[in-house]
Amino acid sequence: MTLFNPCFIDKYVMFEALTEDGSLTNHLPPSMVLRNSGCLDSFLETYRHIYLKPCKGSQGKGIYTIIKNDDDTLLFNSLKHSESFLIFLPSGIQKKGFIKRSYLAQQAIIPKKLFGHRYDYRILVHYEKGFYKVTGKAVRMSQTQEITTHTPRGGKLFPYQDLKSKTWI
């Protein structure tokens, strides 16, 4: 049996590949691989609201948002809970495993919303007989939390055709 897409692509490898296309670079948020707590502190100082995603993760597992408030407190949000730190704690970062595991840090963007929930487009493409062919289109929308649209994390899939007539598409 031949396996297609036997693993998920590394998010930073994908980011690097996308930056090679000049028409896409203005649409990509600033990103970096988290190497140590100093890198994270510097990135947070610049962008104030970021996402941390496991480079080799999938289905929204292990995603965090971090907000650095004006008083320098940090607010960590995961899909299940929130934590607040009064000061930047490198030991807390290490305890969460952000240094041991490869994480991508990205500036948070302000998402577009429909019916009060963030959404994204999903396009399925197959390579067949020397050509790429679009075989499916859908819109994925968050429902139970606003960190990710992944269906295993409570997101919902809507057929593109059902929402195409909305003014937002």
Per-residue pLDDT tens over the stretch 9-30: 888 988 999 899 989 899 999 9
Backbone angles phi, psi at 59, to 5 degrees: 60, 25
| C-alpha span between 28 and 150 (Å, rounded) | 20
Query: Taking a C-beta distance cutoff of 8 angstroms, is the pair 8, 53 a contact?
Result: no
Per-residue pLDDT tens over the stretch 119-157: 888 888 888 899 989 998 888 888 877 777 767 666 787
Domain ranges of the chain: 11-107, 113-163
| C-alpha span between 25 and 139 (Å, rounded) | 23
- Close Cβ partners of 43 (under 8 Å, ≥ 6 residues apart): 32, 34, 50, 105
Query: Is the pLDDT score of 46 beyond 60?
Result: yes
- Close Cβ partners of 38 (under 8 Å, ≥ 6 residues apart): 90
